[in-house]
Amino acid sequence: MTTELPEFPWDLLAGHGARARAHPDGVINLSVGTPVDPVPPFIRDALASVADAPGYPTTHGTPELRKAAVDALRRRHGVLGVKPDAVLPTIGSKELVAWLPILLGVRPGDTVVIPSLAYPTYEVGVRLAGATLVRSDSLLALGPARPAVVWLNSPSNPTGRVLPAEHLRKVVDWARERDAIVVSDECYLTLGWDAEPVSVLHPDVCAGRFDGLLAVHSLSKCSSLAGYRAGFVTGDPALVARLLEIRRHAGMIVPRPVQAAMTAALSDDDHVAAQRARFAARRTLLQEALQNAGFRIDHSEAGLYLWATRGEDAWSTIAWLADRGILAAPGTFYGPSGSRHIRVALTESDTRVAEVAARLTGPPLRN
């Protein structure tokens, strides 16, 4: 049976992208969260230091990498008690998100719960597994349901909403009562602005118990390593062991040079703080420019995006921006309830971000 997948969202932007690129000063692409800042030199040096690696790397990752991840979780996020054996490097985080339901044994007839507004790959993973998708931010709305997996994402992509520890704890308790696995996508955990994000593995959330919990982390944003495909998953040792067993058989292995780069990145917090400062400055400029142009910013307490609206259909806003050489992502990419919002990324260069204000208040393109 062929799995029916949704159309790739960004393909739908092709026409608006062409319009935006026609701007005489070029497109300002705020539609994707791809890093534009250089990889820190010490990380590049670590990558190159093991370039002569003719043998197969270990699927579980080097001991040094796993220890660096454990130490980084403790220093950066107050996560205590994770053992290095319960850390598993992944080829970025997107592939893990897409394949995780299958790797966890989710099958047709099972239910997977994702946020009402969510990263599109959550849905793709559910479809690949042939399971039933439920979009919901309210556990009460699920009634007596006993889902196989519940996805959390705080800070949220796309909205930037932060779920407090109390909320996360209620989800964890609810899921444990139903033997559901909670998977927390924590790729934006270092980017709290108006609220401080909390890991699902923090003692205030899980009381030091990791059973039934997985946390997904990425180095794409905090260390500019999107091109390296560098991520990891951790949490329940039994679940991580299950993932490791399958990934060993399937050859889902992070290359050895990337493992060395990840070890270096996870061992240093200064470059994370510097990157955070760059995003903060861009966020301030973009937020002010959008508000001055009549947009309202909702949520956006953390993360790499601004969740904005002009009170109209999202595609109308996308067209309005494209006429000014600006490309953003419509909220419909993330779920039906995003139909009147757009997602604006903080990942263009400082120069391009500074140009946004002038374009937002300037005339549209002339044919």
Domain-wise residue ranges, the chain: 9-38+271-361, 41-268
Predicted local confidence at residue 143, as pLDDT: 82
Q: Give the tokens for residue 177.
A: 């009562």
Q: Is the pLDDT of residue 77 over 50?
A: yes
Given this model, what pLDDT does residue 10 score?
A: 84
Are 34 and 10 in contact by the 8 Å Cβ rule? The answer is no
- Cβ atoms of 27 and 20 closer than 8 Å: yes
Query: Nearest 10 degrees: CA dihedral of 186, 189, 195, 200?
Result: 40
Q: What is the pLDDT of residues 90-100, one digit of tens each?
A: 999 999 999 99
CATH 3.40.50.12780 fits 41-268, yes or no: no
Mean pLDDT of 56-78: 98
Phi and psi at residue 301, in whole multiples of 5°? -70, -20
Closest C-alpha among 160, 11, 181 to residue 113: 181
CA distance 234 to 58: 17
**Angle at 233 (CA atoms; ends 231, 236), nearest 5 degrees:** 170
CA distances from 18 to 98, 163, 176, 319 (A): 29, 37, 48, 11
Tokens 């909670």 belong to which residue?
182
Give me the pLDDT at residue 1, please.
47
Helix (H, G, I), strand (E, B) or coil at 7: coil
pLDDT attached to residue 2: 57
Token code pair at residue 290: 């959008």
CA distances from 232 to 17, 23, 186, 219, 311 (A): 33, 40, 10, 9, 38
Task: Kindly report the average pLDDT of the chain as a whole number.
Answer: 95
Residue 15: count other Cβ atoms within 10 Å of its Cβ: 11
Mean pLDDT of 58-74: 98
- Determine which helix (DSSP H) or strand (DSSP E) holds 334, and give its type and residue range: none
* Residue with token string 């180095």: 219
Burial 112-147 (b: 16+ CB within 10 A, else e): bbbbbbbbbbbbbbbbbbebbebbebebeebeeeeb
Query: At residue 44, does pLDDT exceed 80?
Result: yes
Share of the chain above pLDDT 90, in %: 92
Report the CATH architecture of 9-38+271-361. Alpha-Beta Complex (3.90)
Say whether pLDDT at 124 is over 50. Answer: yes
Residue 74's pLDDT is 98
Structure tokens at 338: 């995003």
Instruction: Determine the average pLDDT of the residues in 248-273.
Output: 98
